Amino acid sequence: MTLDLHITLTYDMDVPTDILLQVEAAAIPEQVIVSATLDAPACDHFVRVAAHDGIGERIWLRPSGRLSVDYRARVTVQRLLADIAALPQIALHLLPGETVQYLFDSHYCPATKFHSFVETEFGDLQGGARIAAMRDWIAEHFVYQPGSSDGSTTALDSFVMRHGVCRDYAHVMIVLARASSIPARFVSVYAPDVTPPDFHAVAEVFLADPAGDGGAWHLVDPTGMATAGEMVKIGVGRDALDVAFLTAFGTVTLVEQNVSVTRV
Amino acid sequence: MTLDLHITLTYDMDVPTDILLQVEAAAIPEQVIVSATLDAPACDHFVRVAAHDGIGERIWLRPSGRLSVDYRARVTVQRLLADIAALPQIALHLLPGETVQYLFDSHYCPATKFHSFVETEFGDLQGGARIAAMRDWIAEHFVYQPGSSDGSTTALDSFVMRHGVCRDYAHVMIVLARASSIPARFVSVYAPDVTPPDFHAVAEVFLADPAGDGGAWHLVDPTGMATAGEMVKIGVGRDALDVAFLTAFGTVTLVEQNVSVTRV
Amino acid sequence: MTLDLHITLTYDMDVPTDILLQVEAAAIPEQVIVSATLDAPACDHFVRVAAHDGIGERIWLRPSGRLSVDYRARVTVQRLLADIAALPQIALHLLPGETVQYLFDSHYCPATKFHSFVETEFGDLQGGARIAAMRDWIAEHFVYQPGSSDGSTTALDSFVMRHGVCRDYAHVMIVLARASSIPARFVSVYAPDVTPPDFHAVAEVFLADPAGDGGAWHLVDPTGMATAGEMVKIGVGRDALDVAFLTAFGTVTLVEQNVSVTRV
Amino acid sequence: MTLDLHITLTYDMDVPTDILLQVEAAAIPEQVIVSATLDAPACDHFVRVAAHDGIGERIWLRPSGRLSVDYRARVTVQRLLADIAALPQIALHLLPGETVQYLFDSHYCPATKFHSFVETEFGDLQGGARIAAMRDWIAEHFVYQPGSSDGSTTALDSFVMRHGVCRDYAHVMIVLARASSIPARFVSVYAPDVTPPDFHAVAEVFLADPAGDGGAWHLVDPTGMATAGEMVKIGVGRDALDVAFLTAFGTVTLVEQNVSVTRV
């Protein structure tokens, strides 16, 4: 599957301000960047650094006045797809060291509190079958409602409120997985069919690799808007705190933002 | 039903410390204080003030060294009992002014967040029938587990964790009721059969008065440990923040505490 | 001092919705309602109930479609004014029962956490002198910044962030007072010179009554925008949770809101 | 400086339980592990994985009944020491990618809220001079008080309460640094003179490398109990959530724990 991305961002600021931008498709084996251009204003500096877990890059910019970013890319997704429900869980002691952080509580994802709930609700299922049941449980019990959450909303809030946007769905998926001792991380992606068109966020869980005898990360979208074969990864992290598309070290004002993702 | 209460509290403090004590059975029509004695140490002062909503009293003490309180009382409970499930809800605009505060969010009881959940889970029931269903839902989904909560645990936490002690059960009952526009308050009580023996806490909801055409408060214990006919009220409030049996304005150390409640 | 109030509120709603409105000047001895008119739409019901602590009233309405409220009043403020800094503190055991709740933590005002800070910063002052120093400390260290807080902002957040609006200033004043064992409550008021014109919020502390030998409530505005002699009280409560000018039991959309307060 | 470490941990559990242990001195250039032995019970498995940022290791164990761990090591600390106050700040765009996560908010360290405070209090200082002033400010304003915090205490709470233990001091140091755009992380260490003897926690900030033209991490202990030349690093992370010495995936009971650190 090949997707065309076109993202434009415009921000205003009164004084030169350090900006950290993470909007590009990550250059990783599971997706081929066929072509890509990033137009950004001439500014004091333009420096790339590796992003979380080495997946994707962040760019330091220091614009003044107006920041207009235009990013276009064509990306072919070639990740191996699996039937999540059929994947075995990886025993804790066989987890790679870098996945261990994704078992723990994080700011938006206080997973420890969900132990009893997952045991009661999903206790007779293991590994991928449990993940699939959790994904379906969220899809059934939650209402996708733009504007219904904000930067203070945690998975605890969302679990109670039963509504939210993609970040909230992903956070709830993550706490349920971690409370089952399955590593789970937050992934920022581009996908077609996201309504309204925007940056999208999903969960990724670490289960058996169907192609081998180790483990692998598998995308799960409890909103049901995107499928693993049509998502372009931007970056990963423990929760939404780790994966902002723009972080300003000062005061900036959003003027306009557009995200377009189309199948070729 | 007549109950004998015997409560002893011992606290140590290094310097004279203001203490606010609320351990006595409230003198209200629904329960007759047959006899009562409160032994407390001679101290700088001993002043009674009305407690929350005028139900029960608090006592200001200023002991030094050791505070030993011995409270004994015989109380006959004569409240009218009702079949909660059969009671109609009171329309919002017919609620007495003093019950309105019990519709709102309070610190441990962020009821607003539970609107979707109660509509989905209990939307086809009204008034007392809904309350009874909520009480049964809590009883079915929660595990009573001494030590599993602390002073930072809110109804949001408890709802997710699915365990707690009486205060947590009461808080969850309160948020579910308030999210249904039914006034609900926190009640500190004495009751036999509480295990382990201790101060007990339940919820109270405002529904139709079976004896008249207005409304009345009705006790609900989602832990199932106590029944409305066998509870002696100490005080009420919006949540556990309002109803402490002892508040120290300084540093004190608990030495010993015993609560005994027996049927006569 | 006589003030003219003119408040208009317009809200839209899709279905008939229960609304609780608290916008009128409270009828209390310290302020004389010279004249007042409240125009509201014909609707299913219009019922007045006493508000928190019996100060002011709330009105139950159940409009459909559009709610337009027009409130005009002329109010003469005649409260006794005192030099706060000269007022003695009331000993805890001499506090009236109804003030005791204002010593405790409430949702937005976790006062207990501020004990060390107030002892260190204001430990050499007592009573009104301490209150005045706290008011000045807030005025000196905080920046009034519309839009810098929201419904999740507590006094803890504000104390750290050092900016906020009137509700945040009031919350910080309240925690500092309560952490000093001085009862403090939240007061919703009208006052001229509030910029931008809006509902205003201040703190009220319980100290000695300069006119007698008991205690009395005294208004304190740490924003410095209003003075005790020019504030018209609407209602009181433990913090902003208790004193909303409009509470909707359903979904409503703000169309327009204007607050005008002028000296006669 | 050479230190001898001797740590013993004993935990009981009813059923075989997965345990993640991180108690060993990290094998990193700045400290030489002269000798080390780790005695743990024979159990289902014993697997080492890299810890956060690749500093130190975690060990997966699955004991049953009782877990007794005895760790002894001799470690020579040879890190380059610097006068923190003299170190320049690294411009944001010159920060290595892996330090960027340490600029952001994390669960216990909501740094964003501290921007105004740091600008007001430390705005005339930059880089290491600012860090030194912050360290001294904490030391001056906080009281070290064992038992005064728990797992729910954030840097926001600690900043207000003005007391805590080493984790709280480190969290406050971290938020102040990050609010100044200086990367700061949480470090778990062994150090002599810690009273009472225990695992210790400090902050580490990223400033100029006195030995070169790039940047380097520098240890800062706002409790004043340890010095950079005498700390043995165990692990690092964004805050205390990332660096537990023992994580149990089930219920375990602490029986005994001893930490001994002595200068050779």
Task: Quick: pLDDT tens for A123-161.
Answer: 999 999 999 999 999 999 999 999 999 999 999 999 999
DSSP C177-243: HHTTT--EEEEEEE-TT-SS-S-EEEEEEEEE-TTSSSEEEEEE-TTSS--GGG-EEEEEESSGGG-
Contact present, A5 and A63 (Cβ < 8 Å): no
Tell me if chain C has a CB within 8 Å of the CB of D143: yes
Mean pLDDT of successive 10-residue stretches along chain C, which has 264 residues: 97 94 97 96 85 94 93 96 95 93 96 96 97 98 94 96 97 98 98 94 96 90 97 97 94 95 96
**pLDDT per residue over A193-235, tens digit each?**
999 999 999 999 999 998 877 999 999 999 999 999 999 999 9
Q: Is D254 helix (H, G, I), strand (E, B) or coil?
A: strand
D237-to-A55, D114, D167 alpha-carbon distances in Å: 19, 20, 12
- Domains of chain C as residue ranges with CATH: 2-78+244-263 (2.60.40.2250), 84-242 (3.10.620.30)
Tell if the CB–CB gap between C160 and D113 is shorter than 8 Å: yes
Name which of B113, B143, B161 is nearest A161 (Cβ-Cβ). B113
Tell me if chain D has a CB within 8 Å of the CB of A96: yes
Contact present, D144 and D163 (Cβ < 8 Å): yes
Identify the chains in contact with D, defined as 3+ C-beta pairs within 8 A. Answer: A, C
Residue B211 pLDDT: 80
Q: Cα distance from B162 to chain A (closest Cα, Å)?
A: 6
Residue B42 pLDDT: 78
Tell me if chain B has a CB within 8 Å of the CB of A156: yes
Mean pLDDT of B175-198: 96
| Cβ-based contacts of D116 with chain C (< 8 Å) | 143, 161-163
Query: Where does residue D168 fall: left (phi above 0), alpha (psi -120 to 50 degrees), or beta otherwise?
Result: alpha
In whole angstroms, give the CA distance from residue D17 to residue C261.
Answer: 67
Q: What is the pTM of this model?
A: 0.94
User: Taking CA A72 as the corner, what is the angle to CA A67 and CA A77, rounded to the nearest 5 degrees?
Assistant: 135
Name which of A116, A157, A161 is nearest B161 (Cβ-Cβ). A116
In degrees and rounded to multiples of 5, residue C137 shows phi and psi of -60, -45
Residue A44 reports pLDDT greater than 80? no
Tell if the CB–CB gap between A143 and B114 is shorter than 8 Å: no
Residues in chain D: 264
Q: Cα distance from D159 to chain A (closest Cα, Å)?
A: 19
Name which of A114, A117, A160 is nearest B113 (Cβ-Cβ). A160
| Cβ-based contacts of A49 with chain D (< 8 Å) | 95-97, 100
Tell if the CB–CB gap between C97 and B58 is shorter than 8 Å: yes
Low-confidence ranges of chain D (pLDDT < 50): none
What is the end-to-end Cα distance of chain C in Å, rounded?
Answer: 8
Mean pLDDT of A53-69: 93
Q: What is the ipTM of this complex?
A: 0.94
Q: Which residue of C has its CA nearest to D159?
A: C160
Tell if the CB–CB gap between B120 and A157 is shorter than 8 Å: no
Q: Is D159 helix (H, G, I), strand (E, B) or coil?
A: helix
Secondary structure element (H or E) that encloses residue B141, with its range = helix B127-141
Q: Cα distance from C194 to chain B (closest Cα, Å)?
A: 28
